[in-house]
């Protein structure tokens, strides 16, 4: 049976941001989806000397081998790393899905930009994310 791999993207610096990603991670694990969670699996870039190691872990060694990227889009802006990861995934035709729980995505044009809004389905909560992931898993296993 094929193992589905998900890259979890989102801002990482605040505990609340990491907690949202942990909830997405738990949901994925309940669906038997293997996850790559950047701060957990690649570490933090605390100093400039960490940049090459983090880029290699996240982008070179992980993202190209994932079947889907799930992006936490909450907040007043998308983090620079998340935006890069989404652009990279789009260019490589990796399936993308966003979750924005703090306001409807259609009201966040200024925060998300047409590029993010137009490139993926964005769901409003974990229950809807679960539905979309189940569809993706079913389609991937056909």
For residue 94, the domain's CATH number is: 3.40.50.450
Which parts of the chain fold into alpha helices (H)?
A: 15-30, 38-41, 51-55, 80-91, 109-119, 126-140
Range of the domain at 61: 5-140
Structure-token pair, residue 35: 């996850």
Tell me if residue 19 falls in helix, strand or coil.
helix
* Per-residue pLDDT tens digits of the chain, which is 142 residues long: 679 999 999 998 889 999 999 999 999 999 999 999 999 998 888 889 999 999 999 999 999 999 999 999 998 889 999 999 999 999 999 999 999 999 988 888 887 889 999 999 999 999 999 999 999 999 887 6
CA proximity to 33, closest of 8, 58, 62, 55: 8
Q: Is the pTM of this model over 0.85?
A: yes
Q: What is the pLDDT of residue 129?
A: 98
How many domains does the structure of the chain reveal?
1
CA proximity to 3, closest of 33, 30, 24, 26: 33
């Amino acid at each position: 049976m094929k193992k589905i791999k998900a890259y979890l993207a989102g801002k990482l610096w605040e505990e609340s941001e990491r907690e949202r990603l942990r909830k997405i991670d738990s949901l994925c694990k309940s669906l038997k989806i293997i996850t790559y969670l950047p701060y957990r699996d690649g570490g933090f870039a605390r100093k400039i000397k960490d940049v090459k190691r983090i880029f290699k872990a996240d982008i070179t060694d992980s993202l190209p081998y994932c079947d889907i990227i799930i992006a936490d889009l909450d907040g007043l802006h998308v983090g620079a790393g998340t935006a890069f990861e989404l652009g990279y995934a789009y260019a490589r035709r990796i399936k993308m899905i966003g979750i924005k729980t703090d306001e409807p995505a259609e009201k966040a044009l200024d925060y998300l930009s047409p590029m993010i809004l137009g490139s993926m389905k964005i769901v409003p909560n974990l229950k809807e994310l679960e539905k979309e992931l189940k569809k993706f898993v079913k389609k991937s296993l056909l």
